[in-house]
Structure 1
């Protein structure tokens, strides 16, 4: 009898433990999936067919996020690191035209004009971008504009919650579809964008890319490869775009508000080339091929101009993806066809459709020999590192059949 009573007590304990364990499993499933599967509550104004479309559109992104978790597949985040007037707008289009990529054009623009303030803050903002924590960026933008005293009317970052909205046509098409499928009928899907939905798009994309000009020191990106995100959740890639400093400075002198002008050219050239050299040497010593966990690729703007399709394929191969047909078609339309077109090329400083000869040799037509010699004097070390050829006289400067950027 005592034995029977002991057995009965033991079974009661086991049964109670199973009940607790079952409840814990149910609670864990609710918590785990609550951040990827939101409740869809149809409003009274919606028809059954509208509700079906809402659910279908809303779950598209969420299925991708769940599938990536189940496969333990890392999201890929590409940082396009460069200096202004280096051809980054064209490079960024190689990702903007990819329908499977979440791409942002200069999301750190509010930190513009100087490298001396908010250094850590801009790095923190980049980390939020990498994590798709987009709602908190509005506060970062407001703070940056207060400190830098820069006017937001140019990019409308705070106004639209996204900088340079006109540069995001492919992304905005996807956003509007998702917004219309998520929002009640009385909620507008116009500007400013809903950053929570943008975060959903970001998290649901296997590949994200950000064009970054406002971080001046490439060593600030060390956190990409050192923290737990790189080890567990995100695979980071850095594409370092460089360009002939003579071309960079010539282009900057065409901008009305840039500090580069005839009087300041020597000083600005020294600052630019010191930064270029420091970043290159850091990458060569810290992120060389011996460090297999670091995804770093250096690309010259001149090589993109001469061999756009090959370089684009090489970039996608570097990040472990196949270049989409949409990107190849865009290159065909904006570069290759442009060479045989009788139409005048775009004059905008941010144009992506130009004749290659104009892009490669424009600085030779605009700068005087003295200006070129001043730049070369202050940039000789970095020009040697990047395999750019110096000129010594007017005939060499003006002879556009002579390439000054031989292949490395």
Structure 2
């Protein structure tokens, strides 16, 4: 009997020891898991007051992944408002292998430069030259550099999760169809500070070797530091007939009322051609000589008239083959198979017929506006191979 009691006690003791060891093991594993989780979420470091990374070494065009190399392709779509960039951007947004961002610097450009910016370490800084140490354009350029390198510790959360809590500009119209997990995450929160928890998700997506960014706030004159630092970067310089762009801006009320009151369409016309496009064309020629093979000029009208041929040229330029699903999407979008309003949204991509849409302005523009734009934009029109308004008018008369 005594022996039986001794055996029961011994068994109970062993059970206690065994359970304790299991509990201890569980606690250790839980602690390791929690540390890893926090490392993933809090991957940020302390950010210096100046975000310049111009002293970094150039990035090579090959990435090492588990013992083999993967070609890196990075393309910047550099363009102007109402120049067909939504359609061009979709050539990459529809690609499941690409990390694509639609106008990532939009939030920085539209708001006052005095507004606070929140960074991934939860610090806040005023959007001023004094706080960043950089003029506005250089600050924008550095943000783009940090996006290219996926260094989100130096990118304001306002860029990565704009317009909190609705995030309309990021979410709307399927602009980031392969970032749905990240989009769902930021929609769960109401403040920019809370959105920080989601940054590891977009960081993981950004680590893809194929990246594309649609940029409308930087000019060709701003791009040399980026081309010099990042060898894989190629520039797709997208242009559109300035008469079509300016008419479209007026149609969608994208010109400030105070500007229209001050000088009607003249100020916007001068700004588009004299201040932006002429210097950009000069810069393009200079960059092409310094960085051969890395600049492609695309006229939106050429893509609209021959979508498949020019989309193939774009993918050939960046060193890739256009995926079958992108080709199918492009055919459906540009051939009139999609029902609905031709241009119901200024940022949309659905078209009844892309070629008709691209040239519609020729039949609807007021003659006085056509003549005025020609007078200020004649050099741009000639350099890009467009016809004068007088020639276009004569053709329209013959059609009638």
TM-score of the two chains, using structure 2 as the length reference: 0.68
Give, in whole Å, the separation in 2 of the partners of 1:390 and 1:382: 11
Q: 1:120 aligns with which of 138, 142, 145?
A: 138
Aligned equivalent of 2:170: 164
Give, in whole Å, the separation in 2 of the partners of 1:125 and 1:257: 25
Aligned equivalent of 2:360: 362
Q: Displacement, 1:207? A: 0.4
Structure 2: runs of 5 or more not aligned = 1-30, 36-61, 114-134, 190-194
Q: Deviations over 1:357-402 (max 9, x none)?
A: 5422332243211111000000001110001111228943745969
Aligned equivalent of 1:19: none
Aligned equivalent of 2:285: 284
Aligned equivalent of 1:381: 379
Q: Displacement, 1:218? A: 1.2
Give, in whole Å, the separation in 2 of the partners of 1:134 and 1:344: 38
Query: Within the alignment, does 1:206 sit opposite 2:213 as a pair?
Result: no
Structure 1: runs of 5 or more not aligned = 1-38, 44-64, 143-154, 180-187, 403-408
Q: Deviations over 1:273-307 (max 9, x none)?
A: 1211111111112323x743x51111000001001
Q: 1:254 aligns with which of 251, 254, 258?
A: 251
Q: Displacement, 1:172? A: 2.5
Give, in whole Å, the separation in 2 of the partners of 1:392 and 1:257: 27
Give, in whole Å, the separation in 1 of the partners of 2:76 and 2:101: 10
Q: Displacement, 1:258? A: 1.7
Query: Within the alignment, does 1:134 sit opposite 2:152 as a pair?
Result: yes
Q: Deviations over 1:175-233 (max 9, x none)?
A: 479x8xxxxxxxx9845471122111111x12000000011x31211112222x43xxx
Q: How does 1:1-400 map to 2 (within 5 A)?
A: 41=33, 68=65, 70-112=67-109, 118-138=136-156, 141=159, 156-159=162-165, 163-166=169-172, 167-173=174-180, 175=182, 190=188, 192=195, 194-203=198-207, 205-215=208-218, 217-227=219-229, 229-230=230-231, 235-259=232-256, 261=260, 263-274=263-274, 275-288=276-289, 291-292=291-292, 295-338=294-337, 343-354=340-351, 355-392=353-390, 395-396=393-394, 398-399=396-397
TM-score of the two chains, using structure 1 as the length reference: 0.67
Q: Displacement, 1:159? A: 4.0
**Corresponding residue SS for 1:211:** strand
The structure-2 alpha-carbon separation of the partners of 1:189 and 1:265, relative to structure 1 and needing over 3 Å to count, comes to: closer
**Corresponding residue SS for 1:209:** strand
Task: Give the aligned CA root-mean-square deviation in angstroms.
Answer: 3.4
The structure-2 alpha-carbon separation of the partners of 1:114 and 1:285, relative to structure 1 and needing over 3 Å to count, comes to: farther
